[in-house]
Every structure is written in structure tokens, then in C-alpha cells.
Amino acid sequence: MINRECGVYQTTYEGDMALYPLPLARYSTLAVVVVLALLPLVLDSHMMSLANLMLLASIGAIGLNILVGYTGQVSLGHGAFMMVGSYTAALVTVRLGLPFWLGLPAGGAVAALVGAFFGIPSLRIKGLYLAIATLAGQFIIEWVINHSPWISGGVQSTIYVPTPTFLGWNINNEYRRYFMVLPVAIVAYVAAMNLVRSRVGRAFIAVRDRDVAAEIIGVDIFHYKLLAFAVSSFYAGMAGALWTYYLKIANYEHFTLATSVSYLAMIIIGGLGSVLGSVFGAVFITLLPIVLVYVVEGGAALFGFKYAAIADFLANLRLIIFGGLIILFLAIEPEGLFRMWGNVKRYFRLWPYSY
């Protein structure tokens, strides 16, 4: 948030250690929450669906950033962990009749277990090799779910779930879905902010930065790597479960390798090792294809092409731009949009005397 710390002195460690130590920051944070809560008053249904997609992506991206950005363990299996959460939620809803607010933590918990299991190779290997091991995890999970009718429901691996309800309300339009997704996203965000500034988060960063030094001061690397996989997959599982309730369907095609890659793109573009950056990245990657369509449609109209003729081209263009952006950000601004945001903040810190 934009705020300036000049002239504010902390007199207690509690004050100094608060998430938002400056009064202005607390107010602006509160303002953001209020604006988010009031958004449905001004946005139409289509815009609300976009907002929902961004929130869903944010939850998944925050989870991946805890693993990749904070703990330094690369994963190409995030999509599969979301898939686990998605099918878990569908199954407990259809078979056990659990409400969505129990299906969510159930999806998170099962995904956390599976994620910790597929995180075991991280004890021995890192970097590219770990990426390949988690890639194998992605395919194994996808294959197992697809080939177990007991899990995937058989026909086209699709499970339909009834419209979720809350206290008698049917969550059956974009506005109501927004109020199903928003609280989860806010809790996910605050929990992650707290995590990374306290004991467990510091241990994650220690494992990422220097594992020998981390061990020497008593951080059990094994434990924290697996914990990072579990926490990250819990987030993925929650996001996957929310997808199930959002679309009223669980289908593996929403969580393929392409999903894993696009979540990696979110956190690289948004900023590795930044919770807020994960949100920026999620917003950016959600908007990118939509903006692309507008641009290409506009171009097509201008030059008199038929839109249908370039639909294929558009799909490829999206992938090319994805890849290009990842390379660009890795090369030029490895700390991503979050860093750029920081630069803007720094500029305004002493504004208007910012020379």
C-alpha cells in the first residue's frame, strides 16, 4: 500500500512487528477490503466473473510462491495438486453430501498430503532435476485420477456437483460466488503474510538461501522442505476445490501441465518471494488473454480479417507471450511486478520532494 513512514516512531516491539506498522497502511488496507466488498455494487456479471477468476488464481499463486519463491523448491506439479483438491471436493460433496465450506479444507488437506509425498525428492535433488521430478508427479497424478473410475467418476473423468448453498442461500450467480471466493482469498492472503514473517517463514527463506547455514542454526531442512510442499499444496487444493464449486464440475482438463506453467508464470511475473506479488501476477495472467482477444479482434476488424480465421493464431500467440514475458521478467526484473510497485512506492514516499 502507498504510505510514508516518516515521522512515525515505534515504541514497542509489538508495534514494530505488526503486519502494517503504520497507521496509514492500516487504513489503506482496510480501504482495500471495503472496496473489494463493495465491488459487486458497480460491476456487471461479466466483470464479476473476471474478479472471481482473479481471486481463484491468487489463492493458487500465493501457495506456489510459498514453495518456489520463499523456500526455493521449483514445482511443475501445482496443477496436479489443484486437481487433487478439486476431485476431493467433488467426491465429498457428491458421496458424503458435505457442504462446500467443509469440502474446501478437505480438498486442501488431501492435496497437502499428496503434495508432501511428491515433495520427498526435494530432499535429494534441486533446481532443474526437482522440476523434472515434480513434472513426473504432475503426469502420475493426472494418470491415476484419469484411470481410477472410483475417483474420476468414469465418463470423461467429469464429476458434476450440485449448486453449493450457504445458510439456505443458493450460490448460483457470479455475485454470490464472489462472496464465496473473496473471504477464502482474504484469509489465504493474511495467513500467508503472517506465515512468511514468523518462525516458519524465516525457516523457509533460510532453506532457500543457504542450506548449510540453515542446518547449523538448527533448521531441519528435510522437515521444512516437506512442510513447504504441504502448505503450498494445501493452498492449491483449496483453490482447486473452489474451482469445483465455482464451475459445479470437477474435470482434470482444468489442471494440466499448462496450468502448472501458467501459475509459475504468475509468480515469476508478479515477484518471487512476495505474497502481494503473487496477487499481481494472478491478476495479470488472468487479464492477459482477455486483453489479447480485444487487441487481436480490433486488429482483425481494422484489417478486415474474419475473427474465426485467427482464433488458432490467438491461442498460440497467448503461449508465445507467456513464454516471452517469463523470459523478460527473469532477465530484467527478477523480483517482478512487486518490485516495480516498490519503486512506485519509494517515489511517492518523499513526494512531492522526490529528487
Partner 1 sequence: MTAQLEIRGVSKSFGGVQAVSRVSFDVQQGEILSIIGPNGAGKTTLLNCISSVFHPETGAIVLDGRETTRLAPPRVAALGVARTFQNIALFRGMTVVDNLMLGRHIHMKNGVFRSMLYWGPGRREEVAHRQVVEDIIDFLEIEAIRKRPVGSLPYGLQKRVELGRALALHPKVLLLDEPMGGTNHEEKEDMARFILDVNDEWGTTIILIEHDMGVVMDISQRVIVLDLGAKIAEGTPAEVKATPQVIKAYLGTKATV
Binding site for partner 1 (CB under 8 A): 13-14, 16-17, 19, 191-192, 194-195, 197-203, 205-206, 209-210, 212-221, 227, 231
CB of 212 to partner 1, least distance (A): 7
Closer CB to partner 1, residue 218 or residue 352? Answer: 218
DSSP state of 70: I
CB of 354 to partner 1, least distance (A): 21
CB of 213 to partner 1, least distance (A): 4
CB-CB contact of 264 with 76 (8 Å): yes
Amino acid, res. 48: M
DSSP state of 18: S
Closer CB to partner 1, residue 8 or residue 315? Answer: 8
CB of 292 to partner 1, least distance (A): 35
Q: How far is 103 from 164, CA to CA, in rounded Å?
A: 10
Helix, coil or strand: residue 96: coil
Closer CB to partner 1, residue 44 or residue 220? Answer: 220
CB of 27 to partner 1, least distance (A): 20
Amino acid, res. 47: M
Q: How far is 343 from 96, CA to CA, in rounded Å?
A: 50
Closer CB to partner 1, residue 53 or residue 67? Answer: 67
Q: How far is 304 from 316, CA to CA, in rounded Å?
A: 21
Closer CB to partner 1, residue 19 or residue 290? Answer: 19
CB of 166 to partner 1, least distance (A): 24
For residue 199, what is its C-alpha cell? 518462525
Closer CB to partner 1, residue 215 or residue 297? Answer: 215
CB-CB contact of 243 with 82 (8 Å): yes
CB of 351 to partner 1, least distance (A): 22
Closer CB to partner 1, residue 18 or residue 325? Answer: 18
For 119, 120, 122, 129, 204, the CA distances from 125, given in Å and listed in that order, are 10, 9, 5, 6, 17
For 51, 313, 334, the CA distances from 181, given in Å and listed in that order, are 10, 33, 30
CA atoms within 13 Å, Cβ hemisphere of 173: 6
CB of 189 to partner 1, least distance (A): 11
Closer CB to partner 1, residue 219 or residue 310? Answer: 219
CB-CB contact of 65 with 218 (8 Å): no
User: What angle is formed at CA 1 by the lines to CA 263 and CA 44, rounded to 5 degrees?
Assistant: 65
Of 353, 330, 328, 333, the C-alpha closest to 343 is 333
Cell numbers 542446518 correspond to 215
Q: How far is 186 from 160, CA to CA, in rounded Å?
A: 27
